[in-house]
Amino acid sequence: MADRFFGELADVPVGSEWLTRLQVSQAGVHRPTVGGISGTKAEGSDSIVVNGGYEDDEDFGDEIYYTGAGGNDPGSGKQVADQSLDQPGNAGLVTSELEGLPVRVVRGSKGDPKYSPTAGFRYDGLYRVADHWSEIGKSGFRIWRYKLVRLSEQEAVPYTPQVNLPAGNPAPRTSTGIVTRVVRTTAVSESIKSLYGYRCQVCNTHLDVPGGIVAEGAHVRGLGKPHSGPDVPENVLCLCPNHHALFDAGGIYLSDDLTVHDMHGHKIGALTRHPKHQIDIGFVGYHRQLWGH
Amino acid sequence: MADRFFGELADVPVGSEWLTRLQVSQAGVHRPTVGGISGTKAEGSDSIVVNGGYEDDEDFGDEIYYTGAGGNDPGSGKQVADQSLDQPGNAGLVTSELEGLPVRVVRGSKGDPKYSPTAGFRYDGLYRVADHWSEIGKSGFRIWRYKLVRLSEQEAVPYTPQVNLPAGNPAPRTSTGIVTRVVRTTAVSESIKSLYGYRCQVCNTHLDVPGGIVAEGAHVRGLGKPHSGPDVPENVLCLCPNHHALFDAGGIYLSDDLTVHDMHGHKIGALTRHPKHQIDIGFVGYHRQLWGH
C-alpha cells in the first residue's frame, strides 16, 4: 500500500477550481495529468476526472455513469477497441466499490454542461462506486461502466488511510466509516428465502445464529438504475452472503441451464431449484452479459 | 408466513395516540394486549411497546436500548430470571435485524419521560434493529438487548409483505428497500485484509471477482455504541462475508486460545494467524460474553 490518499483533502473544499490538469495534480486532488482514473487494483481508485472524453459517459449530477479507461480515440472520444479490467484504473474502481473507498470527482469544462464548470476544472466532492458492469458501448466495443453516487454530507467524512499496520484509532468516530455493501430485502426475497429454507442455492450453506438464520435474496437482474430489474420471484435467488457478493460482482454467473460457473467459465455445479420457483433465463442472460460471458 | 404486517399502517400517522393497550391492538399497531414484543422467530417482530416495564431499558429518542421479554417481575420491572432467545418475541427481533424488517415503536406513559407521552400510548414511527447481544442486567440475570435506531424519513417507507410467492412488483421503487446489513471499512481493516491476502481467517476462502477480491474487516468488539470497541489491528479480523455475518450475530465465537467454536460450543478449528497480527484476547472475551459463552 503506497500513500495514496482517499477522501477529502483538508485544504481543498468542494467547489475549488483550477485552470489546468497540472494544477489539479499539484493540488493533490487527482495526481495523473492525463489519465481519467487515479488508482490501482491493489490500492483502489482515489479520484476520477469527468471531462467528456468518453462518448458513453452520462452525468446526472449526484449520479454519474462513468466509462472505464482505454480503447478510445482521444480526439473524438469514440471507442475504437474493447476495454479491460486489467487496466489499473478500471480495476481500481472495482476495488473502491468492494472496499467502500470514497472517490474524489473532478469535473472539466468539456463534460455535460448541466453539471460542469464553464472553464477549467472543479472539485465536486466525494462519490462512492455503487455498481459496475460491462456493456457494448455506442461504437460497438465492450466498455466497463461504473455507477458513482455522491456521498451525502453525513457520509462525506474525510477518510485517512495509513501505511502497513497503523496504530489505529482507539476512540473512532463511527461516522468515519464508509458503507461498502448495502443489502436490501423485499417481500419477494423473503418468500424465496423461506422456500429454500434459507439455504444457499449455490453451496447449500445454512448459516445458523442464535435466534435466526442468515440468508440473502439476490436479484439476478439488479433493482434500480441502470438495470431496472423487477422485484418478482423469477428474478430472485436465495444465496449466502458469500455467493451473493460473488454474483453481484461477476465472480460467478449462470448458464441458461442454470449451471453455476466461476469467473473463468469453469463449472462449479448446478443451482439448487425448488419446483415452485421458476427462474427467468432472460434475467440470467442479462446478468451473464454484464460480465462478458 | 402469516399475514403479519411490517411497516407503517396507512391510517396511522406518527404521533397517533390511544388511552389503552386494547385500543393500540385494535388499531393494528401492536397486536398483543400485554406482551411488549409482537412477533415470532419465523416471521420477525413487527412492533414493540416501550413502557418502562424493564429496569434495563434505555431510551434516547432516536435510539432505544431495549430489553428482551421474560424473566421480569411485572410489578417492580426487576429481573428475577434469565431471558432466552427461545422466547418468540426475542427471536423475532433477531430475525427483524437479519432480514432488515422495520419495527413499529409504541411508547407508553411509564417510559422515560423525555420521550414518552404523558398519558396512554403513542405511535412513534419505524425503527430498525441495528444490533443485539446479551449481558448481565442490573439485577444479575442474563438479558437480551436490542439496539433500535429510528429510520430516517427517507428510509421510513411502508413495507408490504405478501403471502407465499407473491406476484411481486415489476417496477419497484428502489426506495422501498430496507437496509439489512451495513459493512463499514476503515484504514485498519484494509491493512489487516491485506496482511491475510484477503483470505478468511476462519475458512481460508478467497473470493475472486473480476478486478478485485471480496473480504471484510470484522471488529471483534464492535465499533460504536454500546460496545465502543477501538479501531485498532488487535481488534480486527479478516473474514469472508459469511463468517463476518456469523461472528456479528453470535453464530461463531473464539476461545482465548483463538479456537473457533460454533454457537453450540463445538470446535470448528483454529483461527488463522499472521505473526505480525496480535489479537487482543480481551476483545475476544468481550465478544464471547455477549453470546453467553
Grid cell digits, residue B33: 394486549
| Residue B2 forms contact with A (CB below 8 Å) | no
pLDDT in tens, B198-233: 999 999 999 998 888 889 999 999 887 778 888 899
ipTM of this model? Answer: 0.72
Distance separating alpha carbons of residues A248 and B61, to the nearest angstrom: 37
* B277 or A185, which is more confident: B277
CB contact under 8 A, A223 and B94: no
Distance separating alpha carbons of residues B184 and A34, to the nearest angstrom: 32
Residue B156 above 80 pLDDT? no
| Residue A195 forms contact with B (CB below 8 Å) | yes
C-beta of residue A148 within 8 angstroms of C-beta of residue A127: yes
Q: Residue B70: how many CB atoms within 10 A of its CB?
A: 21
Strands (E), B52-120: 58-59, 63-67, 103-108
Cα angle value A177/B93/B157 (rounded, 5°): 65
Q: Which of B261, B253, B252, B244 is nearest to B281 (CA)?
A: B253
Summarize the confidence of residues B144-156 as an average pLDDT: 74
| Residue B245: per-residue pLDDT | 92
The model's confidence at residue B258, banded by pLDDT at 50, 70 and 90, is very high
Closest residue to B250, CB basis, from A132, A190, A210: A210
**Which residues from chain B sit within 8 angstroms of residue A232, using beta carbons?**
167-170
CB contact under 8 A, B207 and A245: yes
| Residue A168: per-residue pLDDT | 58
Distance separating alpha carbons of residues B289 and B293, to the nearest angstrom: 5
**Burial class of residue A254 (count of CB atoms within 10 Å of its CB; 0-12, 13-18, 19+):** buried
Closest residue to A241, CB basis, from B85, B97, B242: B242
| Residue B74: per-residue pLDDT | 79
| Residue B162 forms contact with A (CB below 8 Å) | yes
Q: Which of residues 45-84 of B touch A (CB under 8 A)?
A: none
CB contact under 8 A, A176 and B160: no
Grid cell digits, residue A30: 487527482
Q: How does pLDDT run along chain A (293 residues), one tens digit per residue?
A: 346 888 888 788 888 999 999 999 999 999 999 999 999 988 899 999 999 888 889 998 889 999 999 998 878 878 899 999 999 999 999 988 888 888 999 999 999 888 899 889 999 999 989 889 988 988 899 999 999 998 865 333 333 333 345 555 554 433 223 333 444 556 788 889 999 999 999 999 999 988 888 899 999 998 877 788 888 999 999 999 999 999 998 999 999 999 999 999 999 999 999 999 999 999 999 999 988 89
Summarize the confidence of residues B59-73 as an average pLDDT: 91
Q: Which of A221, A11, A215, A253 is nearest to A131 (CA)?
A: A221
| Residue A267 forms contact with B (CB below 8 Å) | no
Mutation choice for B interface testing from A37, A95, A101, A184 by most B CBs within 10 A: A184
Distance separating alpha carbons of residues B290 and A111, to the nearest angstrom: 53
Cα angle value B70/B98/B178 (rounded, 5°): 120
Find where cell 482465548 sits: B256
Find where cell 470514497 sits: A102
Residue B274 above 60 pLDDT? yes
The model's confidence at residue B2, banded by pLDDT at 50, 70 and 90, is very low
Neighbouring-strand partners of residue A109: none
CB contact under 8 A, A208 and B263: yes
Distance separating alpha carbons of residues B90 and A211, to the nearest angstrom: 8
pTM (predicted TM-score): 0.73
| Residue B160 forms contact with A (CB below 8 Å) | yes
SS3 B216: strand
